[in-house]
Amino acid sequence: MSAVMITRKVRKWEKLPGKNTFCCDGRVMMARQKGVFYLTLFLIIGTCSLFFAFECPYLAVNLSPAIPVFAALLFLFVMAMLLRTSFSDPGVLPRALPEEATFIEMEIEAANGNVPAGQRPPPRIRNVQINNQIVKLKYCYTCKIFRPPRASHCSICDNCVDRFDHHCPWVGNCVGKRNYRYFYLFTLSLSLLTIYIFTFDIVHVVMRSVDSGFLNTLKETPGTVLEVLVCFFTLWSVVGLTGFHTYLISLNQTTNEDIKGSWSGKNRVQNPYSHKNIIKNCCEVLCGPAYPSVLDRRGLMQEDSPASETSPPSSSSMNSVPQTTKTTAPLIPNEHTPDDVKPSIADSAEKTPSPKEEESPAPKLPPLASPETDAETSIIKDKAH
Amino acid sequence: PLKNTNICFHNLQELRHSASLATKVFIQRDYSEGTVCRFQTKFPSELDSRIERTLFEETVKTLNSYYAEAEMIGGQSYLEGCLACATAYIIFLCMETRYEKVLKKISGYIQEQNEKIYAPRGLLLTDPIERGMRVVSFFHGRLFTAQNLGCKCDEKSSRCF
């Protein structure tokens, strides 16, 4: 009896390592924890709905119909930017395939020479000269690559991300090279929307109170109180965040570099990526080319081994987890952490918090790979002394 | 002159998966000018007997110039950026960005280089985008004749020559 080969088109996103969730057959890419993202959506949509329901009818008639129209446009822009930031690939660097990883290991061993038994091997660092400054490229034990300059490993998503800024739980994704401008435009437009709604809430309350009295106004439009509360608290955080990122953009720095103090301090290297000109820096970050994703999420996997002829029927191929990779079903977060993910704790020293919390990255337990040889962990330990 | 060797480019794709047949040489990124995409033009010793230095350098330099063109921050990128921003980037769902257009040119160039220069020397050049733009890799293995490969091109894929 011959084996029947049932082939199903397996797309590459199903086999991608890392803790991302994918939706719409690989078109949408997000982090695993999406709770805070849903909260963001709820707050924005909820507050704007209240605004359109309670304030806009009055303001359109008594002031100008342009007010709700502009609010609607602004709201749509905010949503578009939020969804683009959340759903796009931040600039994830694919992990090295076995041949490339072996090639790099051989290069490292050749560079290190013979290490006497019992001694720790020297840290895996490659020095590179950029614009006449020496920049150290670190080796990522999880992805088995030397990280390009400005890339960092996000332990929440378990990926190396190019030009890593931070992992934003509000947006449910990392912010990196590909989606930084959308993230910035999101915070900027959200600030404008918040200020707009706040201002017109006040205007509406004042105008209506002149006619009917303050308490009656609040009874007629109870949504106003909620909106003002939400806007008030949002204003401080989002406007502050926008200001902070405007400052970073003008210096061509990332949040990650700012938190670690990579370019500040007397003995440190000066930022080699800055053009020393605010306008040039802004133009590069905001008006630069739209980088393509190097993760071919929707490409088809190649069938390359004859053993695939006896593969199980297609219905179970979604559930069958290969030893080294984790498949993720759409929109269902995977709660299990397979054992092969534990060595990635080595890079949790690189974990950067969201800008809301200001905690210093703490080095975690040393796993199979040796974090003491990671120069960055040793710098953090120096700081702690 | 390799008159009696027919190499079907279609089957060269399958060479990649047979690690036992091919050894790989990786050309790393050159970060001396910052984070722009550039590859080192230093000639690797493993390719010494396989290909002339000038041809290799020509290929890498042309690739570098393509990437520089894609990442150039100038009038056209500003226009594209501002126009896209004005439409809340919805235009990117329909339109191809300049970078994507250049990437298509690059893959066409790599295919042409493989057919003309590298395949006759038993080498295969892979597109950097398949490796996350980290490396350009060269595969080298034995030269195959049409009988070994069991050439089975259809009309759609590239020609057998």
Side chain identity at A77, as an amino acid letter? F
Report which of B124, B120, B106 is spatially closest to residue B5, judged by C-alpha positions. B120
A85: nearest CA in chain B? B89
Q: Residues 33 to 92 of B: which have CB under 8 A from any A CB?
A: 33-35, 70-73, 77-78, 80-82, 84-85, 88-90, 92
H-helix or E-strand containing B4?
A: none
Q: Please give the Cα distance from A67 to A7 (Å, whole number).
A: 56
Mean pLDDT of A44-51: 94
Rounded to the nearest angstrom, the minimum Cα separation between B100 and chain A is 7
Per-residue pLDDT reduced to its tens digit, A147-184: 998 999 999 999 999 999 999 999 999 999 999 999 99
A127: nearest CA in chain B? B31
Q: What confidence tier does A378 reach under pLDDT thresholds 50, 70, 90?
A: very low
Q: Please give the Cα distance from A36 to A288 (Å, whole number).
A: 30
Q: Please give the Cα distance from A359 to A212 (Å, whole number).
A: 50
Q: Which residue has the higher pLDDT, A215 or A322?
A: A215
Helix A223-251 vs helix A180-212: angle between axes, to the nearest 10 degrees? 150
Pick from A69-83, A209-223, A327-341, A359-373 the range whose average pLDDT is largest.
A69-83
Q: Please give the Cα distance from A257 to A152 (Å, whole number).
A: 10
- Is residue A168 flagged as an active site residue? yes
Residues in chain B closer than 8 A to A108 (CB atoms): none
Q: With a cut of 60, say whether residue B161 has pLDDT above it.
A: no
Per-residue pLDDT reduced to its tens digit, A272-329: 888 888 888 888 888 888 888 888 888 887 765 444 344 343 333 334 333 444 444 4
What's the mean pLDDT when you consider all of chain B? Answer: 76
Per-residue pLDDT reduced to its tens digit, A222-243: 889 889 999 999 999 999 999 9
H-helix or E-strand containing B137?
A: strand B135-140
Mean pLDDT of A56-73: 91
Residues in chain A closer than 8 A to B75 (CB atoms): none
Say whether B117 sits in a helix, a strand or coil. Answer: helix
Quick one: what percent of chain A has pLDDT higher than 70?
74
A131: which residues sit within 8 A by CB, 6+ positions away?
A: A272, A273, B33, B34
Helix A66-87 vs helix A35-50: angle between axes, to the nearest 10 degrees? 170
Q: With a cut of 80, say whether residue B160 has pLDDT above it.
A: no
CB contact under 8 A, A130 and B98: no
CB contact under 8 A, B24 and A283: no
Chain-centre distance for alpha carbon A15? 20
Q: Please give the Cα distance from B108 to A381 (Å, whole number).
A: 50
Question: Whole-prediction pTM value?
Answer: 0.76
Asked if residue B139 lies in contact with residue B16, where contact means CB atoms within 8 angstroms, the answer is yes
Per-residue pLDDT reduced to its tens digit, B70-122: 988 888 888 888 889 888 898 888 888 889 999 999 999 999 998 998 888 88
CB contact under 8 A, A148 and B29: yes
Q: List the domain boundaries for chain A.
A: 2-93+166-287, 99-113+121-147
The answer to whether residue B135 neighbours chain A at the CB level (below 8 Å) is yes
* DSSP β-ladder status, A133-140 and A125-130: antiparallel
What angle is formed at CA A374 by the lines to CA A368 and CA A377, rounded to 5 degrees?
A: 105
